[in-house]
């Protein structure tokens, strides 16, 4: 469903992605691991064009990059994103956060959008928080609302950029559980994470990024238990 061919990205003179090639199938859960600064976020953000690729091709659902650029907002409706810092809209209630996009962008009626939001809130385990403002929620609750907000657009893929890195340790589990449930329901997911336990259990494929390329990738058992290359071993030695 997503095909990435020879993706390069520069920030000015700094080359951050140096030729990324991969394919993400429907319903696949891909976990991206790697040291800080290796280009994981940049790669993820290129997938919904939050960053403009310098060169290379990204084909989503058979639609090439040039076509996507013409209707970038439609592309993003199909690709949900969850951020490390949650980025909930602080001036809106949880309900408004979730219903804004479906109502404004998909023309969903208020009743319909609210019904859907309530379903999503129960799904992420927050059925009674609809009228709260984000600053009244804990970090784990905020991130679950952010997931519900992204899901409200019925995306075909979900991108997660270190969704649990800003959380207190005791809240990591509740967010990972929601993500695990989502994976089990067949959502296509690309997850940048430092949670190796989650990657091992939920990931169909692990992608190890190093200095702007996919240095090694494979099924979790292969990559974690039997890494083939030096840098992968070195990295895993540090984090496991």
Partner 1 sequence: MDSVIKSLSDAIYYNLIREQRYMQFIQGLGISLQLTLYAAVLGTIIGLFMALAKLGRIKWLQGLATLYVDVIRGTPAVVQLVLIYYAILGSSNLPKIVVASVAFGINSGAYVCELIRAGILAVDRGQMEAARSLGFSYSHSMIYIIIPQAIKNILPALANEFIVLLKETAIAGYIALDDLTRAGNIVRGRTFDAYTPFIVVALIYLYITTILTWLLNKLEGRLRESD
Ligand X SMILES: Nc1ncnc2c1ncn2[C@@H]1O[C@H](COP(=O)(O)OP(=O)(O)O)[C@@H](O)[C@H]1O
| Binding of residue 73 to partner 1 (CB under 8 A) | yes
Could you please report the per-residue DSSP string of 26-66?
TT-EEEEEE-TTSSHHHHHHHHTTSS--SEEEEEETTB-HH
Closest separation in Å from C-beta 232 to partner 1: 30
Q: Which is nearer to partner 1, 50 or 196 (CB)?
A: 50
| Binding of residue 167 to ligand X (CB under 6 A) | no
CA distance 235 to 230: 9
Q: How many CB atoms lie within 10 A of CB 40?
A: 22
Q: How many CB atoms lie within 10 A of CB 153?
A: 18
Closest separation in Å from C-beta 226 to Mg ion: 27
| Binding of residue 188 to Mg ion (CB under 5 A) | no
Structural tokens at position 170: 């005791």
| Binding of residue 42 to ligand X (CB under 6 A) | yes
| Binding of residue 40 to ligand X (CB under 6 A) | yes
The count of chain residues that interact with ligand X, using the rule CB under 6 A, is: 11
The count of chain residues that interact with Mg ion, using the rule CB under 5 A, is: 1
CA distance 195 to 218: 17
Q: 101 to 160, contacts with partner 1 by CB under 8 A? A: 101, 104-105, 135, 146, 149-150, 153
Closest separation in Å from C-beta 30 to ligand X: 15
| Binding of residue 91 to partner 1 (CB under 8 A) | yes
Q: Please give the distance of CA 105 from its chain centroid, rounded to a whole number.
A: 21
CA distance 53 to 43: 9
Q: How many CB atoms lie within 10 A of CB 220?
A: 17
Question: Are 95 and 111 a contacting pair, CB within 8 Å?
Answer: no
Q: Which is nearer to partner 1, 71 or 170 (CB)?
A: 71
The count of chain residues that interact with partner 1, using the rule CB under 8 A, is: 25
Residues that bind partner 1 (CB under 8 A): 48, 50, 73-74, 76-77, 79-81, 83, 85, 87-91, 100-101, 104-105, 135, 146, 149-150, 153
Residues that bind ligand X (CB under 6 A): 11, 14, 16, 34, 36-42
């Amino acid at each position: 469903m997503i095909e990435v061919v020879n993706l390069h990205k520069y920030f000015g003179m700094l080359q951050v992605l140096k030729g990324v090639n991969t394919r993400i199938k429907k319903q696949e859960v891909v976990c991206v691991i790697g040291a800080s600064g290796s280009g994981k976020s940049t790669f993820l953000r290129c997938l919904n064009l939050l960053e403009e690729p310098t060169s290379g091709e990204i084909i989503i659902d058979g639609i090439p990059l040039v076509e996507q650029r013409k209707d970038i907002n439609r592309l993003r409706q199909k690709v949900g994103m969850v951020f490390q810092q949650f980025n909930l809209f602080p001036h809106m209630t949880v309900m408004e956060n979730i219903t804004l996009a479906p109502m404004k962008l998909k023309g969903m009626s208020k009743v319909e959008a609210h019904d859907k939001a309530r379903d999503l809130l129960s799904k992420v385990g927050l059925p009674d928080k609809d009228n709260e403002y984000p600053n009244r929620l804990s970090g784990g609750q905020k991130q679950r609302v952010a997931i519900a907000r992204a899901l409200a657009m019925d995306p075909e893929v979900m991108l997660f950029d270190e969704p649990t890195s800003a959380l207190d340790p005791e809240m990591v589990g509740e967010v990972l559980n929601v993500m695990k449930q989502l994976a089990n329901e067949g959502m296509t997911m690309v997850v940048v994470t430092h949670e190796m336990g989650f990657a091992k259990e939920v990931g169909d494929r692990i992608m190890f990024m190093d200095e702007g390329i996919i240095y090694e990738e494979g099924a979790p058992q292969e990559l974690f238990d039997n890494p083939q290359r030096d840098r992968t071993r070195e990295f895993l030695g540090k984090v496991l």
